[in-house]
Amino acid sequence: MNFHEFSEISPAKVEALKARIARLAIDLRLIEEQFIRGSGNGGQKINKTSNAVLLKYPALGLIVRCQRERKRSLNRFIALREMVDEIELKISPGTSERLKEIEKIRRRKARKRHKSAGTQKENGPV
C-alpha cells in the first residue's frame, strides 16, 4: 500500500497512521485491497466509478468497506484507518483509542440513566 497517494490528507494524519501501523507491527502486504462500485445516492458518478474501497485482512478475518467520500484516495485512507482500528481491537485492546472512547460513552450513558432513575423516584409515577 502506497502512502504517497494520500496527497489530500494532511501529512500529520498520515504520519500518525504510519506510527500506529509500526507500533502494532502490521504487515501491509497481508492487506488485500479491492475497488468496487459504490451504492446509494450519487447518481451517474456512483454508477460509473469504482471508488468504494474493500480491505481484507485474512490473518484475523477482518473486512472493512468504505464509501464515505467521492474520491478513491480519501476512501482508501479512511478504510485503512478503520482497518488499523479493528486490528488494534483484536490484538491490543488495552491500547485501543476506539475502545477507550466507547468506554467513555458507556460511562456517560450509565450516569445519565442513574440520574434519570433518581429523578423519577423523587417525582413518582407520571
pLDDT of residue 99: 79
The CA distance from 25 to 78, in Å, is 19
CATH architecture of 1-94: 2-Layer Sandwich (3.30)
Predicted TM-score (pTM) of this structure: 0.75
Q: In what order do the strands lie in the sheet with 62-66?
A: 32-36, 52-57, 62-66
Would you list the domain boundaries of the chain? 1-94, 96-126
Contact 91, 61 (CB under 8 A): no
**Residue ranges in the chain modelled with pLDDT below 50:** none
Number of other CB atoms surrounding residue 27 within 10 Å: 9
The CA distance from 54 to 2, in Å, is 16
pLDDT of residue 44: 75
Contact 89, 100 (CB under 8 A): no
